[in-house]
Amino acid sequence: MERTNRSRKHLENVLCLQEICHLNDRKVALKEDNFKYLIGQMDLRSIVGDFTAAILLEKPTRIFSFASEHFAALRTSTTPSPPMLNEGVPALVVTGARQLQVLDALNQQFPGKFLSPVMTTTRPPHRSERPGITMNFVTLEMINADIRGGKYLESGASAEVGCKGELIGTTLEAVARIRATGAVPLLHVSYERAVSARMCGNIKPTPYAILVCSENEPPQQEHRSSFDKLIYARSLDQVIAELVAVIKAKFPTVVRAS
């Protein structure tokens, strides 16, 4: 009798073939639902991708502590307050004079009044970079989807060595974060990306774009139509002087606050 009861309990705990098939079908359906959800959540994919990249770069031994610090840094550095896309000072976009550190030069004249937004790229992160803090890293599919969705102020091909085929750009959200601090968003980017920023219709006021040319470079009509200001200078000191003059004329609130 005892053996019979044991056999009966064993049979009750064993799934029949039909139940196993239903369970496997349910597992497949859940995986498909989860996959569809992740595909549709670009922000979540970016967060998970950044965290994975950070783990592979840092290789922490205390994973939970590392995760806590990682997401705490993201929370304090990426919360827009508020998304100021239709108010505030225009972003300043400069192209040309690649050897000039524009941000450092302007902050010497106007301390703390200019900040560069965190950009987003499809290239792999360098060891010294903190994903989400020094640079955002996404896939090519993700950045193209967000560009089509109108989430970028500007974008274009990466000019970094060894990054052929990679894209880089600045999201409108990153610009909004700078505006929320009261500073002027400053972008020193390629010609292609500067034109892209100047043509963006999803932010007001329109970014103020400056093209720095060689003094001997002849002006072209496309330059005049694509940029608010053309600077022709023989030296970096002249470029800085011209930039300061433009800021005093076009960004009076920055001058008064300095």
**CATH code where residue 114 lies:** 3.40.50.300
Q: What pLDDT does 257 receive?
A: 61
Does residue 251 sit within a domain? yes
Q: What pLDDT does 3 receive?
A: 53
Does residue 250 sit in the same domain as residue 126? yes
Does residue 227 sit in the same domain as residue 144? yes
Does residue 97 sit in the same domain as residue 163? yes
Closest CA to 80 of 3, 164, 151: 151
34 vs 192, residue with greater confidence: 192
Res. 198 pLDDT band, cuts 50 70 90: very high
Does residue 117 sit in the same domain as residue 243? yes
Does pLDDT of 163 surpass 70? yes
Does residue 191 sit within a domain? yes
Q: Give the span between the Cα atoms of 211 and 228, in whole angstroms.
A: 8
Does residue 231 sit within a domain? yes
Does residue 36 sit in the same domain as residue 96? no
Among 44-48, 150-154, 203-207, the range scoring the smallest mean pLDDT is: 44-48
Residue range 210-233: mean pLDDT, rounded: 78
Condensed to tens digits (0 to 9), the pLDDT of residues 67-106 reads: 877 776 655 444 444 456 787 889 999 998 877 888 899 9
Condensed to tens digits (0 to 9), the pLDDT of residues 20-36 reads: 787 788 888 888 888 77
Does residue 35 sit in the same domain as residue 96? no
Does residue 32 sit in the same domain as residue 104? no
Does pLDDT of 12 surpass 60? no
Does residue 109 sit in the same domain as residue 199? yes
Does residue 228 sit in the same domain as residue 111? yes
Q: How many CA atoms lie within 13 A of 186 on its CB side?
A: 21
152-157 vs 208-214, strand pairing mode? unpaired
Residue range 150-154: mean pLDDT, rounded: 95
Does residue 226 sit within a domain? yes
206 vs 53, residue with greater confidence: 206
What is the CB neighbour count within 10 angstroms for residue 196? 22
Does residue 99 sit in the same domain as residue 214? yes
Does residue 144 sit in the same domain as residue 215? yes
Chain mean position to CA 181: 17
Does residue 160 sit in the same domain as residue 242? yes
The total of structural domains in the chain comes to 2
- The mean pLDDT value of the chain amounts to 81
Range of the domain at 193: 92-257
Amino acid sitting at position 170: T
Does residue 58 sit within a domain? no
Q: What pLDDT does 228 receive?
A: 92
Residue range 133-148: mean pLDDT, rounded: 90
Does residue 244 sit within a domain? yes
Does pLDDT of 161 surpass 50? yes
Res. 165 pLDDT band, cuts 50 70 90: confident
Does residue 143 sit within a domain? yes
Does residue 101 sit within a domain? yes
